[in-house]
Structure 1
Amino acid sequence: MNKMPLEILKLAAEACDDKRAEDIVALDLAQVSLVADYFLICHGTNERQVQSIARAVKDQMEEHNVSVKRLEGFEQARWVLVDLGDVVCHVFHKDERSYYNLERLWGDAQHVPLEVGN
């Protein structure tokens, strides 16, 4: 059975939280963009943690039979993009996150409440 985008978002957020990702934010883009239904944004404090978070998202999706369309930026671990189709997960290095500031860029998008332990 196919998972709904909101379910995928929550699974990805759990994976990020399990690897102690910081400041996990979900944006509902359905009304403001054709790019995706949701963006999940978080950051790690170093390259190894960024890779660990991205790997956890990928593994979590594979466990739940959700296909990972693309994984970009993993080697550099400054901004890893995990494309899950209707959900795009952005795992930043903390220094890059404030520079790109996706939350401000997509300021028209509503925040989605997540039940993760931040």
Structure 2
Amino acid sequence: MNGLPQSEVTSEMILAAVLKSLDDNKAEDVVQIDLRGKTSVCDQMVICSGRSSRQVVAIAEKLVEDLKHQLGVLSKSEGQDTGDWVLIDTGDVIVHVFRPEVREFYQLEKMWLPMGKTAQTAN
């Protein structure tokens, strides 16, 4: 395993690696939400879409692999069996990869953003 000692990995480094992996793997509509000071769950949330269940699973698997090899970050993930919504928990950054219809149904961006605010698009 490559990567940095776990004590040297910051949430900013994880976020940068997440955004790069998502971009490299053609994730769509990538949105980043800064949650520092708003919840103890995580510092950042990233929400994105894949065009199909197959792409959703592939994006998520590649992200977990990239974080492990680049930073030594071991992530937990759920939802690969259906590919509708995969959640990747890195500790400091939580990533949601959706099929577009499922993303529209749950509208996580609206839940975490204050009224009238729009999410910061990562692309």
Normalising by structure 2, we get a TM-score of 0.85
1:66 aligns with 2:76: no
Q: Any gaps of 5 or more consecutive residues in structure 1?
A: none
How well do the aligned residues superpose, as a CA RMSD in angstroms? 1.7
Consecutive aligned runs of 4 or more in structure 1 exceeding 3 Å deviation? 109-114
Cross-structure match for 1:47: 53
3-state SS of paired residue (1:24)? strand
The letter of the residue matching 1:19 is: N
Q: 1:38 pairs with 40, 44, 49, which one?
A: 44
Deviation at 1:24, TM superposition (A): 0.5
Larger radius of gyration: 2
Say whether the 8 Å CA contact 1:12–1:61 is kept in structure 2.
yes
**What is the percentage of aligned positions where both structures have the same residue?**
34
Between the aligned partners of 1:112 and 1:7, the Cα distance in structure 2 is 18
Contact 1:73–1:79 (8 Å) recurs in 2: yes
Distance in 2 (CA, whole Å) between partners of 1:85 and 1:112 is: 21
Cα distance in 1 for partners of 2:119, 2:48 equals: 13
Give the paired residue count. 114
